[in-house]
Structure 1
Amino acid sequence: MDTLSSIAEEIHDPDEESFFIFSSPIPTSNLGFIDSHAPFLDISIHDNDYSIIQSQGLLSSKREGGTTGAVLWKITPLLSTWLSSASNPLRTNFLSPSSAVVELGCGISSLLALSLGPLVGKYIATDQEYVKRLFRENLLGNLSTAYKNPNKKGKAQRKGKTGSSSPSPSPSPSRAAARATESSSEIKAENIAFTQLDWELNDALALNECVDDRNGFDMLVSCDCIYNEALAAPFVRTCADICRLRSRSAEREGRPTVCVIAQQLRMPDVFETWLREAMKEFRVWRVFDEVLGDDLKLGTGYVVHLLMLKEESMR
């Protein structure tokens, strides 16, 4: 708790928090995507350049259950850059080569997995099944870039016919289509996995099977997943269920799961609905501007909150 209090302000009143946040200027923009019509996007995270495949056709389809995960949204590269920064206090205090991280609503880009996966022991990306194919393509096509630093956790390699390995070349726009044919048997990240999770249909408790020591997760990450009021309650319930995996573990070392919830600010009513639901189960903090930096501070149209399960909600 001391760590969170040093980097964020605890929220006690959802009405006051909403009024304060939406009193700041919010830049006028589209819904929040970078370019939904581009088949490929080139994104830089620190010194790594990634090529991301999108699906505008899937985004505009009539699929029941939504299609917002089919393209890359503006906040995702910003959160990926911030969280993976060597100076970020959340990274230094909560992430290590033995940590387990779960992401809700990962979408197709795999950027958070590529940024945080090399830093931790286990990274579980979750979303609905329709994003799985493109998530895997983007993950596999960019692994050699994400894991190129030998000091980072994990292993990415291309295996030849003889079984020997050599570094894969960094992806480029000209290679993006060809790279989509690479199979998981050729390139793999041993500590990154995708698991289907629908907040309204699936049991989040099954995620503990993905963690080797069945000790829950050190961090839950969610990027721009709250965009209508109907999603607020099932989203918060899923977050709470995942956090209880750590609180129920007999071998827990005393540190609860911290949730990092990043949002683009759109409708006050949607934000207030989420915050009210969250405060029923969690203590909530808003990260200070000086910790977030220029790209995510208030006035940019984004906000980042930290959640920890209340003692009475752990049971």
Structure 2
Amino acid sequence: MNGFLSSLGHPVEDTEEETFLLFAQEIPANNLGFVDSCAQSLEVTIHGNEYTIQQSPSVLSSSRAGGTTGAVLWKITPLFAEWISGLTSNPLWTHPDSPLQPPAGKTVVELGCGIAGLVALSLGPAVRHYVATDQEYVHRLLRENLDENKGVAYKHKSGGSKGKGGKKKGGSKQVQSEESNISFTSLDWEQDAPELLKRSVGIAPDNDEDEDNGFDLLLSCDCIYNEALVAPFVRTCADICRLRPAYHPEKAADEEGKNPTICIIAQQQRAPDVFEAWLEETLKVFWVYRLSDEHLPVGLKGGTGYVLHLLVLRDDA
């Protein structure tokens, strides 16, 4: 773990400096960041796999309380999905000191998955279990997208074998794409308890005597665009990470060998004040590393209008 984090460079320490460095450079105009907010469906290619993603322009334009941004696909998502699922090129999976090796044994949780489920479809087949979370209104279309694209997502499984997970769980708050290891559960950052995430989708521990409610990896793609969401978002990230040991340079894993949860937060650069508010809140409880160009593909490098940070919970948080 120490060697892996050292490879990322020095952690971010100053909120104003980081905000200035990112927003002083010329940023291309990405508008709000939609791929096509009027299209009912989109064709997206990730690592040569073609996915058909259903959207809901009507929900996006509605006055639904609680927001509607998850109803369509955002530009950063396909770029992020391709990067995070690059098992032979992404340092998260390839660095010799990364605690995320091997991917097949890891559990992942995503905050704000939206209706597309594209990150889940891209990475889910490579890990033990993938829990996608968002507000309940994305439930129906997300299920359709997972079911419609599962043949593409799992086609590289040996002999066309089925993914882990088995049967769909009952209840109104969760759905599991049949024959896959991708599950969905609704999660309200202000009201729901993160420690119930695994239980709600019926993920059994590897060892019944040593239940692990935590996750190896937490992902969030373009969820930070409103200052009012900053505090509950950061608090939810921290609460999920507290299900595992926090990071201390002299003791990366606990006595049982469990590593801290690694968080990857991807976002489009929009309003400097919103970004600064997020970073200030995040630095209170996390070690923060900005992923440099050497770790990113062309579409996510500096100057593209996108930025990725890696977080690990501080041991004094």
Which band: TM-score by shorter chain?
A: 0.7 to 0.9
Question: Quick one: distance in 1 between partners of 2:192 and 2:148?
Answer: 29
Question: Quick one: distance in 2 between partners of 1:192 and 1:110?
Answer: 9
Whether the 8 Å CA contact 2:30–2:305 is kept in 1: the answer is no
Is 1:201 equivalent to 2:191 in the alignment?
A: yes
Query: Is the partner of 1:230 in helix, strand or coil?
Result: helix
Aligned 1:31-42 pairs, distance under 5 A? 31-42=32-43
Shift in alpha-carbon separation, 1:189–1:253, aligned structure 2, 3 A = farther
Query: Is the partner of 2:242 in helix, strand or coil?
Result: helix
Query: Is the partner of 1:10 in helix, strand or coil?
Result: coil
Query: Is the partner of 2:104 in helix, strand or coil?
Result: coil
Whether the 8 Å CA contact 2:121–2:149 is kept in 1: the answer is yes
1:288 counterpart residue number: 292
Question: Quick one: distance in 1 between partners of 2:38 and 2:83?
Answer: 26
1:162 counterpart residue number: none
Counterpart AA for 1:286? R
Whether the 8 Å CA contact 1:205–1:242 is kept in 2: the answer is yes
Query: Is the partner of 1:11 in helix, strand or coil?
Result: coil
1:135 counterpart residue number: 142
Counterpart AA for 2:137? Y
1:89 counterpart residue number: 91
Question: Quick one: distance in 1 between partners of 2:35 and 2:42?
Answer: 9
Aligned 1:72-111 pairs, distance under 5 A? 72-85=73-86, 86-92=88-94, 93=98, 94=100, 96-111=103-118
Question: Quick one: distance in 2 between partners of 1:207 and 1:155?
Answer: 23
Aligned 1:189-268 pairs, distance under 5 A? 189-209=179-199, 210=201, 211-213=203-205, 214-215=211-212, 216-247=214-245, 252-268=256-272
Q: Mean Cα displacement is larger for which, 236-245 or 247-256?
A: 247-256
Structure 1 unpaired stretches of 5+: 158-183
Counterpart AA for 2:178? K
Query: Is the partner of 1:245 in helix, strand or coil?
Result: coil
1:166 counterpart residue number: none
Q: Mean Cα displacement is larger for which, 102-111 or 90-99?
A: 90-99
Shift in alpha-carbon separation, 1:8–1:117, aligned structure 2, 3 A = farther
Aligned length: 286
More helix by share: 1
Q: Mean Cα displacement is larger for which, 196-205 or 208-217?
A: 208-217
Q: Offset of 1:189 from its aligned partner? A: 3.4
Aligned 1:44-59 pairs, distance under 5 A? 44-59=45-60
Q: Offset of 1:8 from its aligned partner? A: 4.8
Q: Find the partner of 1:124 among 117, 122, 131.
A: 131
Counterpart AA for 1:276? E
Q: Mean Cα displacement is larger for which, 54-63 or 203-212?
A: 203-212
Structure 2 unpaired stretches of 5+: 165-174, 206-210, 247-252
Counterpart AA for 1:89? P
Query: Is the partner of 2:244 in helix, strand or coil?
Result: helix
Whether the 8 Å CA contact 1:119–1:152 is kept in 2: the answer is no
Counterpart AA for 2:191? L
Question: Quick one: distance in 2 between partners of 1:136 and 1:308?
Answer: 31
Query: Is the partner of 2:300 in helix, strand or coil?
Result: coil
2:61 counterpart residue number: 60
Q: Offset of 1:212 from its aligned partner? A: 2.3
> Under a length normalisation based on structure 2, what TM-score does the superposition of the two structures give?
0.85
Is 1:278 equivalent to 2:285 in the alignment?
A: no
Q: Offset of 1:63 from its aligned partner? A: 0.4
Q: Offset of 1:270 from its aligned partner? A: 0.1
Question: Quick one: distance in 2 between partners of 1:293 and 1:103?
Answer: 21
Question: Quick one: distance in 1 between partners of 2:133 and 2:159?
Answer: 23
Counterpart AA for 1:240? A
